[in-house]
Amino acid sequence: MSFAADYDRLVEKLSALGVDVNAVKAKLKTQHIETPSWGYGNGGTRFQVFPYPGAPRNIYEKLADAGYIHRLCGIAPTVAIHIPWDKADDYSALTQYAREQGIGIGAVNPNVFQDYDYKLGSVCNPSAGVREMALDHIIECCEIMPKVGSTLLSLWFADGTNYAGQDSMSKRKRMMEQALIETHKHLPAGSRMLIEYKFFEPAFYHTDLADWGTAYAMALKCGPQAQVLVDTGHHAQGTNIAQIVAFLLDEERLGGFHFNARRYADDDLIVGSANPFELFEIYVELVAAGDKAKDVAYMIDQSHNIEPKLEAMLHSVLNCQTAYAKALIVPLRRLAELQNSGDVLGGHRVLVDAFETDVRPLLMKVREEMGVPLDPMAAYLADGYAAKVAAERGTAQSAGGGIQS
């Protein structure tokens, strides 16, 4: 595959704009997109789960698939786990197996939404016994973190109500606050807890952590190891996610992302598939923030229901890589000059030009220098891994998210 001439032309264009192409390549080589264990297994909507041939049946097979994706792209070196879906008898052995696949274990995600006891919530449940059970499980996950080498606890709660008068919203707010403060006390040294939010579903009257401002307020109450996690699908139509990202970055409280795409709400589509310009805008804010973004965690969180699991995951990672590359070639100095002079459309054109630039030759050069396939998707389609695991594993009826199909 010849791309040298296209790459040279792109370098010439970018250099004329004052973009340091070598610096851009260096940053692309250190990009880190974490894939989720549950994204490899069977998973779907609350209506149906469609089992997929070759979908992993346990955490070890999920790690094998995650290692395969990393070998294709070179930028997905960790996998998030969900407890108890990925619970192991021997976490040392699990960590060693991940290492053998060329990856590590990333964020640990407690599950406080699936058990029958959580019907009316977890840490905000009217029952003190249920609240204690939920908190015990979260603390258990804090104890698992050092066993697998994780420095991130990722928290999402389904807590909320469906009817006015069902419960006291202020009381529930205080219970959530107490649970998060207690969790913060149990975090391993040097780790962080990322507080996710969602404005509706499965709670439709009110959700206890409904938006970024609520999550931000909770993080401030907890302490320095608490930050906000932005799921790109958890917003109402028209929400400017880039503005949320910019605010949290400036406050140094943006902990990480769960990347997916939505047309309506939490659709869990492949990131960058519904609105690639929005993903690009987010990455522009991250690049512009400099050191304030250095500890941000980038994680995929999608439910691949009708898509082939591995192909969908690879698309997701590559879409993030493309968006990041386009954000890196924005001439920020020139953009600032236009903004400071009040040139409204001039600044807009700078972003549009970067977004519309074909960065494939740049990415191919980066992959060549990293020793991974120049075209990871073509490599996936040609190498037969998916067919091989389908023959070995068959079609599992259990879902990656613990739901029986």
Domain boundaries, the chain: 31-329
DSSP states along 375-404: SHHHHHHHH-HHHHHHHHH---SB-TTS-B
Whether the bond between 84 and the residue before it is cis, its omega within 30 degrees of 0, is: yes
Contact 372, 72 (CB under 8 A): yes
The pLDDT value recorded for residue 305 is: 87
**Mean pLDDT of the region 191-198:** 98
Q: Residue 402 pLDDT more than 60?
A: no
pLDDT confidence band for 399 (50 / 70 / 90)? low
Q: Of residues 265 and 247, which shows the higher confidence score?
A: 247
Contact 179, 134 (CB under 8 A): yes
- Pairing type for strands 206-207 and 160-161 reads antiparallel
Strands (E), 260-372: 297-300
Rounded distance between C-alpha atoms, residue 272 and residue 195, angstroms: 23
Q: Residue 42 pLDDT more than 90?
A: no
**Mean pLDDT of the region 72-98:** 98
Q: Residue 277 pLDDT more than 70?
A: yes
What average pLDDT is seen over the chain? 95
Q: How far is CA 16 from CA 9, 244, 250, in A?
A: 11, 32, 30
**Mean pLDDT of the region 325-345:** 98
Q: Residue 159 pLDDT more than 90?
A: yes
B/e letters for 43-64, b = 16+ CB within 10 Å, e = fewer, are bbeeeebbebebbbbbbebbbb
**Mean pLDDT of the region 208-224:** 98
Q: Of residues 329 and 42, which shows the higher confidence score?
A: 329
Contact 376, 318 (CB under 8 A): yes
Residue 22, both tokens: 């070598």
The pLDDT value recorded for residue 400 is: 54
Q: What is the fold, at CATH topology level, of the domain defined by 31-329?
A: TIM Barrel (3.20.20)
Number of separate helices (H) and strands (E) present in the chain: 15, 10
**Mean pLDDT of the region 318-325:** 98
pLDDT confidence band for 371 (50 / 70 / 90)? very high
Element (H, E) at 230: strand 226-231
Percent of the chain with pLDDT over 70: 97
Which residues 6+ apart lie within 8 Å of 245 measured at CB?
Answer: 230, 254, 282, 285, 286
The Cβ of residue 264 has, within 10 Å, a number of other Cβ atoms equal to 9
Least confident range of 37-46, 176-185, 244-253, 273-282: 37-46
